[in-house]
Structure 1
Amino acid sequence: MTATGRNDRLALGMLSVFGLPPIEFVDLAAELGCRHISAAIQGMPLVPLGYPPFSLKDDAALRKDLFAAMDDRGVTISLGDGFLVRPGADVGALRPDLDVMAELGVPRVNVVSLDPDLSRALDQFAALTEHAARRDIGTVVEPVPGLTIGDLPTGLAATDHVGRSEFRLLVDTMHLARSGSGASELAALDPERIGYAQLNDTTLRPRIDNYMEEAMFERLVPGEGDLPLRDILAALPTDIVIEIEVPQRSLALAGVSPIERLRPCVEAARRLLADVQAG
């Protein structure tokens, strides 16, 4: 904990705020006592909440204002999100996006693959890792059920293939549990293989038929579902960022503000981390 009582490990995930403009997102994190946020190059208004579109790549003034806001509020971007491996596309085209992330001081980017060709996806991961490393940016891969890298073993195979310390795993608690892994599998890993974590809760059985819809729109506040979150957090490295990724579309559409939606999540995360630290 810092002298101000903030836990420096906590971040707010962009998926939780459904396209909230970047400056407002920084203010939200600061109000909730979080040191970090995740960010994508383009705004992602996945839920119609009236937020204006934005592009960190195309809007130099926005980048300047965002950097100033982060400096003023003591908030950094801990993860550049939204990097995709697509069929027929080369990740070399993402170099301008990486340039933007480097300008904003982003230490790592997250990648998932939509290309069903596993071999090609792994090679593209390696290429992206190289492009990012040239900009002093690390890369994490997020296993997501239903995608090319769908579980922890496949994620580990990806890190083996890339074979670089700059390429590590992102552990999302919902994806981890729903793909059949848990705390014991994490505890067995070299901690250096894990570079980032996303914290949320859910039920062990699906609440929505479409997994991606549930994952992107309706997760639960930590402690309100079935996941053994304390055990999972205890198995993670103690120095990585813990990002709160709890999208709640139903509440957002009902008019519940971002700070009202995320305050319970932040409070629950702090309790969990304090419990883990206390042993």
Structure 2
Amino acid sequence: MPHPLGIELLTVLGMGPVDHVTLAADLGCTAVSMGLTQLPMNPHDYPAWSLREDAGLRAELKAVLRDRGVAISIGEGMGVSPEFDASERAADMDIFAEVGAIRINSVDMGVERERALDQLGKLAEMAHARDMEFTIEFCPAFTIRTLGEALEAVRHIGEDKASVLIDSMHFFRSGGTVRQIAELDPALIGHVQLCDAQRKGIGNYLQEAMTGRLIPGEGDLPLREFVDALPRGKTLGLEVPLMAQAQSGQPAAEYVAEIALKTRELLA
């Protein structure tokens, strides 16, 4: 398969960073997305963890990334908010740089457009100063809703400092087409997250995005064509939080392995 796979933070539902990397490597995946603290969703009751507060955990994470040949494709949890300024993220940026994150990803969280662009620009500059890339994720429920709007934000910030994160659910639900991907400058695609979904959602969009995504091949999205249109070799971060399986007591290693297997079968 021309696209390596990664396991996104949301997929492992609260698992600690070292175990997350180990599981990804055991499944033949080469990347993970990573936050600095445990997600609120923790159906497996994993022990609480924080890369901010635990220098020993940061050292363990760096060691397992090196030993297992896994990269942190994106640092997560850096969304733009009306409550604080991007400058307050400096310490978090330093930690992501310390553990070797390739890029920082941000979303606008529904912030007013002018402030969103200003704050995203500041985050991009901070990432650039630390030799990390920066991606902007669009979502139909936020201010930057579509690929076109995300590209406008990238141009505003500067294509040398930012690119887009394309999440397959957000992309198709916001009206995106495979042709758009095929015609897009590959340099503008910083990261890709892959899941399946129904073409039209029912109910709360963000709730579905957090808990109702489907394994690739089990929904209506044209994922094979989508992936074929991507630049060859682009890592596909699997973002499929199977909450029902987790709440039923099925071990994460089992359902995450199923996600990776079925994705490989779809794309073979």
- TM-score class, shorter-chain normalisation, is over 0.9
- Find the aligned partners of 1:237 and 1:109 in 2 and give their Cα distance: 20
Match for 2:203 among 175, 200, 209? Answer: 209
> Which residue type is aligned with residue 73 of structure 2?
S
State how 1:52-201 maps to structure 2 within 5 Å: 52-201=47-196
Q: Does 1:239 align with 2:233?
A: yes
Contact 2:159 2:188 in 1 (8 A): no
Q: Does 1:220 align with 2:214?
A: yes
- Find the aligned partners of 2:104 and 2:198 in 1 and give their Cα distance: 28
Contact 1:170 1:194 in 2 (8 A): yes
Please list the CA deviations of residues 146-193 of structure 1 after superposition, one character each: whole Å capped at 9, or x if unmatched. 111111111111111111323001011111111111211111211111
Instruction: Give the TM-score normalised by structure 2.
Output: 0.95
Secondary structure of 1:196 counterpart: strand
Instruction: Give the TM-score normalised by structure 1.
Output: 0.92
Whose relative contact order is higher, 1 or 2, with alpha carbons under 8 Å and at least 6 apart?
2
- Find the aligned partners of 2:177 and 2:252 in 1 and give their Cα distance: 29
TM-fit CA distance, 1:8: 6.9
Contact 2:18 2:64 in 1 (8 A): yes
Name the count of aligned residue pairs. Answer: 268
Please list the CA deviations of residues 89-129 of structure 1 after superposition, one character each: whole Å capped at 9, or x if unmatched. 21111111111111111110110012431011011111111
Please list the CA deviations of residues 223-242 of structure 1 after superposition, one character each: whole Å capped at 9, or x if unmatched. 01100001111121223221
> Which residue type is aligned with residue 39 of structure 1?
M
TM-fit CA distance, 1:260: 1.3
Contact 1:8 1:35 in 2 (8 A): no
Secondary structure of 1:165 counterpart: coil
Q: Does 1:27 align with 2:22?
A: yes
Q: Does 1:257 align with 2:251?
A: yes
- Find the aligned partners of 1:193 and 1:110 in 2 and give their Cα distance: 14
Question: Identity over the aligned pairs, expressed in percent?
Answer: 41
Alignment-derived partner of residue 277 in structure 1:
none
Secondary structure of 2:249 counterpart: coil
**RMSD of aligned alpha carbons:** 1.5
Please list the CA deviations of residues 73-101 of structure 1 after superposition, one character each: whole Å capped at 9, or x if unmatched. 22221111111100142111111111111
- Find the aligned partners of 1:115 and 1:264 in 2 and give their Cα distance: 34
> Can you give the 5+ residue segments of structure 2 that lack an aligned partner in the other structure?
none
